[in-house]
Chain A
Amino acid sequence: EVQLVESGGGLVQPGGSLRLSCESSGLTLSGYNMNWVRQAPGKGLEWVSYIGGWSEVIYYAESVRGRFTISRDNAKNSLSLQMNSLRDEDTAVYYCARDSGRGYSCDYWGQGTLVTVSS
């Protein structure tokens, strides 16, 4: 079965750090642009970060710029998101999503990992 699997979520105190990972089975990530997208409880989708297929370009949403770092390891077919200086408003389900190569759309999504920032 083709799937993306996120891991690394959990409960963290404000100001703390967490590292999310995304791995795939049956799906090549190497060379594909990738995204992290989050969804706060009961809220809509929010794009977080984008990385080019060979890490040649990286974008961040203004809300996380300077605190989050996206990276990838094509040899391991994996994607990561290092999250530092976490805030209450970062509480959300974080999805990794593969760019389809067509107009910045995402054709494959993981099931998400929940990050809760709370004291």
Chain B
Amino acid sequence: QSALTQPPSASGSPGQSVTISCTGTSSDVGRYNYVSWYQQHPGKAPKLIIYEVSERPSGVPDRFSGSKSGNTASLTVSGLQAEDEADYYCNSYAGSNILFGGGTKLTVL
């Protein structure tokens, strides 16, 4: 099964909002509300920031939000801060299979 599709890059200025898309199919993103998002800084392990499409783990700022429409999930980062500069990966359950997106490098200008 193919990976989920994310834009390779995104950018925004401090204080702005940016949205990263994650497109799958009716067999994964469109079928299950099991979409997660991870943040990864260079040389570090991934960190869970969104689970079940729009839920935030304890300790994750509410500047991070998730949504889904059809086969596309989205991550929105509001009020961009310098420390948000990182790689972001979406992830979806696909019935006995788990898929990651190719990743999006977020640059804070």
Question: Which residues of A does B touch, CB under 8 Å?
Answer: 35, 37, 44-47, 50, 59, 61-62, 95, 97, 100, 102-107, 109-112
Contacts and interface: CB of A to CB of B under 8 A. Distances in A.
A102 B55 contact: yes
B109 to A, nearest CB: 23
Interface residues of B, number: 30
Contacts of A44: 3, 87, 89, 100-103
Contacts of B36: 103-106
Contacts of B93: 103-104
Nearest to B51: A105
Interface string B91-109: 1010011111111000000
B45 A100 contact: no
B27 to A, nearest CB: 14
B7 interface: no
Interface in B50-69: 51-53, 55, 57
A110 B44 CA distance: 10
Interface centre among B33, B45, B57, B101 (most CB of A within 10 A): B45
Interface centre among A97, A102, A104, A110 (most CB of B within 10 A): A104
B101 A107 contact: no
B103 A107 contact: no
A35 B101 CA distance: 17
A35 B38 CA distance: 15
Contacts of B32: 103
Contacts of B55: 102-103
